[in-house]
């Protein structure tokens, strides 16, 4: 079929298999252009099919020579429906990894469930014995609690009072004002249940109890802080409450792993165009202004550059630099005073009329479409392609 992008709100409902493969190939090429990292050799990536999770899998393999197991929840193609971008990304990653002789295996399902944890542990025992790194990069709007059976749903809301600020319709470029009403305590609790640290801790406990977490293992989860302009909806909002819980969990896991030489970190990453960030009001407008500023200063990074730097300059460097709260900061090029001062000035002046001039809304759109395999150089989007792409070991139910 000939596949074209179909954008609805902040998601694209189609994905292009050849474009996704080209995007993965780009990221692999970047990693290969950098130096090797004396990093992990057997890696489990939970949430491995897009964004930072996918980048972690690529860096682990193509900079450190690691065998990887990826866990995700993605959809295969069916009828005239394309597969999800994460499905195509994973198929491409495995194709390139295996072509160079690297082990790569994947499991598709509910990573919050006990069943998938058990399946993953069985795969580790059978194929790798143990893992020496666990990357936790899940991004989901809902979580079925494996013990209580309760379905928790997250919300993107401020806490304590309503919040009004500028936002942008990425498709039209219209800058408008948005008002978000404060979350109830129940909504806060549910968001923490989905996006906090409980499931990460459950994974580490399950891996430890099963004896498949190697002595000296490292685990990392990803977070974000960002500027004051986004704090009400992010760091001081419901997501921020979940991230606070994630960071508190990191300290507990660190103490647990330290008894056998292990480490646990939260890595605070920069603002990037991802499927998750696109859903947060205010944030896409901030990102478009930030991209313009960081590109002009030669500081811009995407997911793959961020994660390569995380491995090379932080986790597997001679000394892992952390902030006063024990967090790794690879948002260090986003948050300096001069960068933020310029973004603040742009924020004060931005409007529909001047966004394309003072911001990088075009760059935002380009990055957004690349998430789904569109807009990649060298890909002919007028060609008929087979949307049915398989992943070794994953059975697609009819």
- Bridge-based pairing of strands 42-46 and 67-72 is parallel
Tell me which fold the domain 7-154+192-280+302-331 belongs to: Rossmann fold (3.40.50)
Across the chain, the runs of DSSP E, i.e. the strands, are 7-8, 11-12, 42-46, 67-72, 104-108, 131-136, 142-144, 151-153, 163-169, 174-180, 213-223, 263-268, 328-329
Q: Which two tokens stand for residue 216?
A: 């000296």
DSSP-assigned letters across all residues of 158-198:
BSSS-EEEEEEETTTTEEEEEEEPPPPHHHHHHHHHHHSSH
What pTM value is reported for the model?
A: 0.96
Per DSSP, the three-state class of 205 is helix
What pLDDT does residue 397 have? Answer: 66
- Reading the chain (398 residues) residue by residue, the pLDDT tens digits are 999 999 887 789 999 999 999 999 999 999 999 999 999 999 999 999 999 999 999 999 999 999 999 999 999 999 889 999 999 999 999 999 999 999 999 999 999 999 999 999 999 999 999 999 999 999 899 999 999 999 999 999 999 999 999 999 888 899 999 999 999 999 999 999 999 999 999 999 999 999 999 999 999 999 999 999 889 988 999 999 999 999 999 999 999 999 999 999 999 999 998 877 777 888 999 999 999 999 999 999 999 999 999 999 999 999 999 999 999 999 999 999 999 999 999 999 999 999 999 999 999 999 999 999 999 999 999 999 999 999 998 987 65
**Beta carbons of 179 and 233 less than 8 angstroms apart:** no
Q: Helices (DSSP H) in 65-179: which residue ranges?
A: 85-99, 114-123
What pLDDT does residue 398 have? Answer: 55
What pLDDT does residue 274 have? Answer: 81
What pLDDT does residue 233 have? Answer: 87
Alpha-carbon span 287 to 299, nearest angstrom: 14
Domain ranges, ordered by start, for the chain: 7-154+192-280+302-331
Q: Which two tokens stand for residue 174?
A: 């219209």
Q: Look up residue 395 and give its DSSP letter.
A: P
Active site residues: 234
Q: Look up residue 81 and give its DSSP letter.
A: B
């Amino acid at each position: 079929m000939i596949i074209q992008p179909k954008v609805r709100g902040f998601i694209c409902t189609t994905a292009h298999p050849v474009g996704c493969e080209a995007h993965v190939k780009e990221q692999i090429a970047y990693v290969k252009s950098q130096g090797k990292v004396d990093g992990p050799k057997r890696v489990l990536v939970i949430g491995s099919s897009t964004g930072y999770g996918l980048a972690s899998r690529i860096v682990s393999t193509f900079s450190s020579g690691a065998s990887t197991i990826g866990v995700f929840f993605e959809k295969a193609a069916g009828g005239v429906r394309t597969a999800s971008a994460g499905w195509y990304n994973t198929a491409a990653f495995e194709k390139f990894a295996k072509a160079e002789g690297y082990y790569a295996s994947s499991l598709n399902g509910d990573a919050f469930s006990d069943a998938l944890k058990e399946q993953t542990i069985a795969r580790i025992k059978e194929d790798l014995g143990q893992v020496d790194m666990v990357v936790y990069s899940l991004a989901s709007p809902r979580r079925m609690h494996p013990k209580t059976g309760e379905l928790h749903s997250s919300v993107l809301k401020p806490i304590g009072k309503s919040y009004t600020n500028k936002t942008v319709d990425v498709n039209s470029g219209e800058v408008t004002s948005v008002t978000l009403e404060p979350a109830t305590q129940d909504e806060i609790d549910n968001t923490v249940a989905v996006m906090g640290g409980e499931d990460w801790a459950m994974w580490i406990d399950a891996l430890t109890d099963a004896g498949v977490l190697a002595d000296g293992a490292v685990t990392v989860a990803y977070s974000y802080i960002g500027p004051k302009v986004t704090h009400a909806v992010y760091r001081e909002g419901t997501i921020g409450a979940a991230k606070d819980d994630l960071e508190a969990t990191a300290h507990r896991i660190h103490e647990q792993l330290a008894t056998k030489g292990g480490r646990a970190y939260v890595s605070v990453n920069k603002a990037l165009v991802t499927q998750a960030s696109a859903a947060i009001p205010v944030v896409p407008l901030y990102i478009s202004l930030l991209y313009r500023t960081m590109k002009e200063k030669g500081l811009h990074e995407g997911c793959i550059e961020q994660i390569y730097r995380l491995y090379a300059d932080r986790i597997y460097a001679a000394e892992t630099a952390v902030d006063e709260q024990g967090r790794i900061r690879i948002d260090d090029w986003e948050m300096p005073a001069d960068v933020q001062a310029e973004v603040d000035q742009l924020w004060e002046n931005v409007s529909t009329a001047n966004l394309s001039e003072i911001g990088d809304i075009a760059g935002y759109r380009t990055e957004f479409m690349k998430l789904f395999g569109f807009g990649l150089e060298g890909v002919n989007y007028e060609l008929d392609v087979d949307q049915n792409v398989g992943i070794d070991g994953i059975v697609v139910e009819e």
